[in-house]
């Protein structure tokens, strides 16, 4: 641990000790875990997605129903960034952690698919993803890959091949319910885990923000890694207000060293 700043050494060790003693681990990730991959978060000053746009104006279910072109115009540059993005050390560390014979579940608020790109397999995408599209009329689901090229190059709004109505990306918009089965699984894994790690989430969006409370109320340890403060910091075993792409790999590496 010689390369770790001295003020972090003790807390890294403490976090590794907790993680090393827990078999059922749930990691709740938010936009902050993907900023090091070049994907902007939502609330950072100047660079956050909501600094330039109001979510109710561009990313709400009402906007999509009545003026879908506004949504697709807003999504276009973000979709290109997500397509080009690669997992960063935090994503890779969590994928490596899954190989350690622990029961690892990732609950992510992100739609970028970077956890899967890194190799994680137990991922609950509570806010959906961009891999599939669903027709707003006949509800047929299509793979997004067939439409991405035309959308990125020509801004062509995807249409259903069966009824010619608009295809909606399978992401959860403002005012839209979370996918029921995924949400139930997220609640269950939060309730039964021994440790929850909050990684890169400001915990400001309900109902997902309530999951850490569910975990600790059922006796779980809690580690928070997020640049800004969260409401649950006061209940956590350990809190890091540092870059998650730097801290998570250090914790996982320390656990790996202890196991050998």
C-alpha separations of 67 from 31, 157, 164, 165, 220 in Å:
26, 12, 17, 13, 44
Residue 221 annotated among the catalytic residues of the structure = no
Strand segments (E) across the chain: 24-29, 103-108, 123-125, 128-135, 141-143, 167-171, 195-199, 221-225, 238-240
C-alpha separations of 99 from 21, 120, 143, 248 in Å:
16, 9, 29, 15
Q: Which of 127, 192, 221, 260 is catalytic?
A: 127
Helix 244-259, helix 89-98: angle, nearest 10: 30
Report the catalytic residues: 127
């Amino acid at each position: 641990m010689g390369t770790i700043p001295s003020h972090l050494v003790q807390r890294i060790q403490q976090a590794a000790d907790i993680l090393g003693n827990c078999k059922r681990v749930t990691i709740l990730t938010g936009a902050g875990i993907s900023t090091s991959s070049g994907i902007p978060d939502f609330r950072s000053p100047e660079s956050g997605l909501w600094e330039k746009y109001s979510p109710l104006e561009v990313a709400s279910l009402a906007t999509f129903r009545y003026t879908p072109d506004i949504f697709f115009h807003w999504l276009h540059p973000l979709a290109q960034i997500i397509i080009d993005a690669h997992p960063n050390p935090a994503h890779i560390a969590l994928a490596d952690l899954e190989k350690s014979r622990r029961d690892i579940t990732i609950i992510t608020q992100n739609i970028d698919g970077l956890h899967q790109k890194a190799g994680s397999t137990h991922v609950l995408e509570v806010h959906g993803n961009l891999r599939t599209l669903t027709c707003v009329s006949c509800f047929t689901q299509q793979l997004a890959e067939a439409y991405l090229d035309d959308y990125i190059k020509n801004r062509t709004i995807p249409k259903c091949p069966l009824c010619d109505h608009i295809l909606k990306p399978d992401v959860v918009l403002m005012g839209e319910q979370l996918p029921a089965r995924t949400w139930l699984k997220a609640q269950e894994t939060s309730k039964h885990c021994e440790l929850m790690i909050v990684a890169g989430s400001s915990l400001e969006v309900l109902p997902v923000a309530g999951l850490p409370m569910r975990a600790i109320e059922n006796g779980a340890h809690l580690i928070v890694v997020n640049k800004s403060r969260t409401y649950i910091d006061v209940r956590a075993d350990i809190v890091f207000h540092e870059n998650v792409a730097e801290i998570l790999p250090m914790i996982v590496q320390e656990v790996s060293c202890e196991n050998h």
